[in-house]
Structure 1
Amino acid sequence: MKIRFLLHNAYGIGGTITTTFNLAQGLAERHDVEIVSVLRHRQRTAYTLDPGVRLRPLVDLRAEQEHPLHLKPARVFPEAEYRYGQYSRLTDQRIEEWLDGTDADVVIATRPGLNVHLALQGPRRLLRIGQEHLTLDHHSPRLRGALRRAYPRLDALTTVTEADARAYRRKMHLPGVSLQCLPNSVPDPTLPVADSSSKTVIAAGRLVPVKRFDLMIEAFARVAAQRPDWRLRIYGKGEEHERLSELIERLGLHDNVLLMGAATPIEAEWVKGSIGLAASNFEPFGMTIVEAMRCGLPVVSTDCPHGPAEIIRDGVDGRLTPVGDADALAAALLDLINDDSLRRRMGQAAVRNAQRFSPTLVVRQAEQLIGSLRAPGTGEGPGALPGPGLYRVVTSRSHALKDGAHVAAGNALRRVRSSGR
C-alpha cells in the first residue's frame, strides 16, 4: 500500500513532526511510505528519518520565499488556523498539484489547515484521513466553523485521545466520517531503562508559557528545601528561557535546577533520571510523558486536558495533580523522592504500561483503520469507496440540499478552482 503523510514542515521541531516520523517509519516496514513537507527552510531535518521513508518538500523557502505567488495570501488554508501566515497562493497551488498527481492509496494530513486542503482538494480515488494533534476545544469558533464545513469530505478523522474523539462526536456533525482515536507512538527504548537510583528529576519540552516550567521550578523550590541533594534538569529551548533563568536565580535554585538546552535524542537523558515531571495547563497528548515512562521513570504531571490522564495511571505508574497547584506538585514529587521502593515499583509499572504506545501497536491500529475504510468484501481499493466525496453529493440536487456542510464544501472548492490560479 502507498501511504503519504502531508506535514506542515518536516524540517522543524515539534511533537507532530516527531509522531509523524515515528508512525511513518513503523508503517514503512510493510508499506511504501513518503512524507510530503509543505515547507522546507533548511538542508536537513532536526530529527533522524529512517532511510525507508522518502521525504519530499513542496515549497523550499530558501529559494522561493519571494516567489510572486508566495506573497499572496492563501485561499484554501483556513484563515483562522494558527499557521495561516506561512501559507500562500503558492502553497495552495503546490498542494493541489501534488494531490492531483500522487499515486498514493492513502493520504494522511496532520493539522487542521492541511486536513481542509485534503478534504477540498483530495481526489476521491484516495483514502483521505485527517489527524487532529491538538484538540477541538483548543480551536477558535471561527476555525471550528471552517472544519465543520470541510471535514465531511474526509473518509476518517483521528484524534490522539479518546476524550477529544468524544468531543468531536458530541460537537461536530460529520456524516459518513470514521472518527477514531489513534494515539501517538514512542519508539522502543534502545538503552537500559532507568534504575531509580539517580537523585534527578527530568523534564523536557518547548520552553513556552502553556508548559508551565515556571510552576515546575516553584514546586521544586519546595522540594529542594527538604531534599537539597536532588536536582531538576529541564531539556528544551524556547521563548521562556530568559524568564525561567531569572526565576531560578531569584529562588536561589542555581544548584538544584538546570536549564540543559535541547537534546536529540532525548532517551539518553531520560535514563539518567528517576522521576519525570510535567506541569502543563493544556496537553493534547503528552509525548514527553510517554517517553519518560518508556525509559523507566514514573511521571508526576498536572491533570490537564486531555492527555496525561489517558497515559498515567494515578498511583500506579505516576501521579496526577491539580493544574496550577505548585504545592500539590511538590508533595507528589516528595512522596516519590522519599520512598525508594515506591519509586522503583512505579518506574517498573511505567515501563509495562507505556508499552501500549509502542510503534508496533500503534501501527497495527493505523492499519486496522485503513483496512476498515476500504470497500469490504470487494477486494477493491479506495476508488470504490461510497464515502462522503463532493462529486457523489452534488449529483443529486435534493440530496445535496439536505446537507449544508457538503454544499458549503463544494462551493468553497469551486471558488478555489475558479480563482484564476
Structure 2
Amino acid sequence: MLRSLLNVVRRTLLAAMSARDWQRARSAPPPSDRQIRILLLHANGMGGTIRTVFNLAGHLARTHDVEVVSVVRAREKPFFPIPPGVRVRYLDDRVSGRKGFLSRIPGVLVPREEAASDSFTLAAEIKLIRYIRSRREGILISTRPALNLLTALFAPPEVVTVGQEHLNLASHKKPVRRQIVRRYGKLDALVTLTETDLVAYDAALLSRPKVLTQMPNAVTALNGGISPLTGKTAITVGRLTHAKGHDLLIRTWVHVAARHPDWTMRIFGSGRKRGKLLASIEEHGLTSKVVLEGAATDVGSEMAKASMFVLSSRLEGMPMVLLEAMSKGLPVVSFNCPTGPAELITSGHDGLVVDMGDVEALADAICTVIEDQSLRGTLGAHAVKTAAGYDMEIIGKRWEDLLASLVQPR
C-alpha cells in the first residue's frame, strides 16, 4: 500500500519536474566544465571503483573544481587517501547508524535487483535527488547503474551528465538492464571500460546518449618497485565474493601445489566468502599453500614481492588490478572472463589467458610461468610497457578532451 502511494507521488513529482525543467532550460547559461561532481555510493569504502574514481578526481582537480559526492557514509574515515584538491561530501551519514523513519523504508526508485539497492533507503534517495536537483552548472559524473538511472531522471537541464559503467551490461540483472535500456539515452554521455561493452550498449540502448564512448581506467600509481620475480609466490587481489572466483583459484592450486609444492598463493581481500574459502583451503589440504591475507593496506609493495599475478574472476568490468600488477612487472595469468582480460592482455606477450572456468588450463598456465624463468622475465618486461599505456597522464587527457567536448554549445 505504501509503495503504491509512493509510486503515485513519484509520477506526480516527475511530471511537475519536467514542466519546471522546460522553464529552466530556456534561461540556462552556457554549459561549463569548471565544476565537476562525481557521485559514488560509498566513498569511504575499499572497492576498485572508489580507487579509480579518486585517481581520476585527483587528476581533474589540477584544473577543475572537483568534489566527490558520497551517497552514504558507513565508515568514519576513507580507506583510500583523498587526493589533493578534491573535496568529499556525504549525503546520508550512517556512521552512528541509520536515523529517522524514512531511513527504515526501502527506496522506491532504485531497482531492487541493483546490487547496491539495500543501501538506498527512501531517505537516501530523497537526499540524493535533492542534491542532483540543486545543481545549477557543471558536469555530474555517476558511477553505477543506480546513480546513472537517478541522474538520467532528475538532472536539471543546466547540468551535463556522464554515466560510467564500471562492470559490463551483461553483468546486471534483467530488471536493471530494462531500465538501463530505457533511460540511459537521457544522459549526455555514457562511458564504458571496454570496446566489447561499448558494442553491447550500442546494440541494446533504445536511444543513444549524445556521446557513447569507451574509456579505460588509468592505472593507479602504487608503492613498491618493479618485482625481481625471484620469490616463489603468486598473488591475487580482490573482494572475497563469488564473482572474483577465489573458489576456482583454490581448486586450481591443488594442481599447482602437486607440481610445485614450494610455491604459495597469497590472496588479498576481505568479504563474506572468507569462511567458506578457509574451509575449502583446509579441505583440499592447502593450508600454508594458499593464504588469505586480508585487505592489503599497501598493495603495491605486496605485488612487488610476488612473481606472478593470477585473476580467477567469473566477471569483471575492466580489472584495474591486472594493470596494477603489470605496472610492477608481474606476468599475469587470467581466465578470459567477461569483460576486460582479453583486451588488456596479449596472451603470450605480457601474460597468459585461458578459457573461462577451466581450472586445469589455469593451473597449466601458472606452472608454465613458474617453470620457465626466461618466459617469466619476458612477460613481466612487456607487462610494464603495457601498463604504461594506461598512465593517468594519457587517460586523463582523454577525459579532459571528452568533458571539453560536452560543454560545447548543445
Distance 2:223 2:279 in 1: 36
Letter in 2 for 1:348: A
Letter in 1 for 2:35: K
**What pairs up with 1:168-317 in 2 under 5 angstroms?**
168-317=201-350
Cα distance, 1:336–1:64 mapped onto 2, change above 3 Å: closer
In the other structure, the counterpart of 1:154 is 187
1:101-145, CA deviations, whole angstroms, 9 ceiling, x for partnerless residues?
335511100111111111111111111001111211112222122
**What pairs up with 1:373-412 in 2 under 5 angstroms?**
373-375=406-408, 384-385=409-410
CA contact (8 A) 1:2 1:103 kept: no
Cα distance, 1:327–1:91 mapped onto 2, change above 3 Å: same
1:375-416, CA deviations, whole angstroms, 9 ceiling, x for partnerless residues?
2xxxxxxxx42xxxxxxxxxxxxxxxxxxxxxxxxxxxxxxx
In the other structure, the counterpart of 2:176 is 143
Give TM-score, length-normalised by structure 2: 0.88
2:95 to 62, 79, 95: 62
Letter in 2 for 1:271: A
1:332 pairs with 2:365:
yes
Q: Secondary structure at the match of 1:357?
A: coil
Q: Percent identity?
A: 38
CA-based RMSD: 1.6
In the other structure, the counterpart of 2:106 is 73
Letter in 1 for 2:87: R
1:369 pairs with 2:402:
yes
Give TM-score, length-normalised by structure 1: 0.86
1:15 pairs with 2:48:
yes
Cα distance, 1:344–1:178 mapped onto 2, change above 3 Å: same
In the other structure, the counterpart of 2:120 is 87
Distance 1:328 1:40 in 2: 42
Distance 1:361 1:25 in 2: 14
Distance 1:52 1:130 in 2: 23
Structure 2: unaligned runs, 5 residues or longer: 1-33
Q: Secondary structure at the match of 2:305?
A: coil
1:51 to 84, 88, 103: 84
1:4 pairs with 2:63:
no
Question: How far off its partner does 1:162 sit?
Answer: 0.9
Distance 2:214 2:252 in 1: 33
Q: Secondary structure at the match of 2:197?
A: helix
Cα distance, 1:81–1:215 mapped onto 2, change above 3 Å: closer
In the other structure, the counterpart of 1:120 is 153
Question: How far off its partner does 1:337 sit?
Answer: 0.6
In the other structure, the counterpart of 1:321 is 354
Structure 1: unaligned runs, 5 residues or longer: 376-383, 386-421
CA contact (8 A) 1:196 1:344 kept: yes
Question: How far off its partner does 1:63 sit?
Answer: 5.1
In the other structure, the counterpart of 1:32 is 65
Structure 1 segments (4+ residues) deviating >6 Å: none
In the other structure, the counterpart of 1:352 is 385
Question: How far off its partner does 1:177 sit?
Answer: 2.7
Distance 1:254 1:88 in 2: 42
Letter in 1 for 2:145: P
Distance 1:216 1:257 in 2: 9
Question: How far off its partner does 1:100 sit?
Answer: 2.8
CA contact (8 A) 2:223 2:298 kept: no
Letter in 2 for 1:165: L
Question: How far off its partner does 1:173 sit?
Answer: 2.1
Question: How far off its partner does 1:64 sit?
Answer: 6.6
Letter in 2 for 1:373: L
CA contact (8 A) 2:111 2:175 kept: no
Question: How far off its partner does 1:6 sit?
Answer: 0.7
